[in-house]
Structure 1
């Protein structure tokens, strides 16, 4: 599993802990572990994946606790919910400002991108149908460069 550099992930996790503390949340062992897992991941993770990774560090953690912790992190705006084409939901680190997400359907790598030029397009759709567009949400799914290369040359897997 590819992860961010340890110091970057630790710094991000500490920022999250500080934000949670500032908003009155009690910092528990499960909260520390789940936030660390998400802060260090470059991939989207579903609740079961978070749970499985968390149990490696804290075997007593329960799946319900993981769900509650994910809700807290989302409530504070530290993670965002990703709606997968199969209807399942996963989570990924939230970014500041309005950005869009592109996700690899094979390896779950996720990256944010800006779409300033899309605002004109969304406004024109709103005008066409008589709406005043107030917000939008965009997620793209496809194969990343590495997975495309493996698909073309399967011997590298």
Structure 2
């Protein structure tokens, strides 16, 4: 899906959920639908205020929460205890997150099936899904 189409689809879902589409909310949606980085609410706020100086931090938090409820963004827990948001994807995920710049990369990890089976056997749990996050420095920040 092209970025413009994705943004419009998100705006329709947001509106259908009862949210009025304002210019600041549109800016939040445009940013979150197109970024390749996991962003903190403050980073979203700072970016949005460049174009919409009256954007409020409460609007950012509420919009991110609603986008998360709609399954459009997901919250990523960082090692420092804070969280960031990124565009959601379907199914199980394996993420590499740069702790310096917030860059996010998805990576294949189908070899986790053996680990999942061992965990099920040793705990009695039936694993239905998983989400793996690895933290470090991206190649750009590492150089």
| Band the TM-score falls in, shorter-chain normalisation | 0.7 to 0.9
Kindly provide the CA deviation profile for residues 23-62 of structure 1, in whole angstroms up to 9, marking residues without a partner as x. 4543222221101111221111100110111111111111
2:104 to 104, 110, 121: 110
- Aligned partners of 2:94 and 2:109 also within 8 Å: yes
Which stretches of structure 1, 4 residues or more, deviate above 4 A after TM superposition?
none
| Contact 2:92-2:130 at 8 Å conserved across structures | no
Structure 2 regions of 5+ residues with no counterpart?
Answer: none
Moved more, 100-109 or 8-17: 8-17
What SS class does the counterpart of residue 131 from structure 2 fall into? Answer: coil
Unpaired segments ≥5 residues, structure 1 = 1-6, 151-157
Q: How many residues align?
A: 143
Aligned twin of 1:153: none
Q: Corresponding residue for 1:12?
A: 6
Structure 2 residue 103 is matched with structure 1 residue 145: no
Distance 1:122 1:28, change over 3 A: same
Give deviations 1:130-152, integer Å, cap 9, x for gaps: 2222332211111222223x2xx
More relative contact order, 1 or 2 (CA 8 Å, 6+ apart): 2
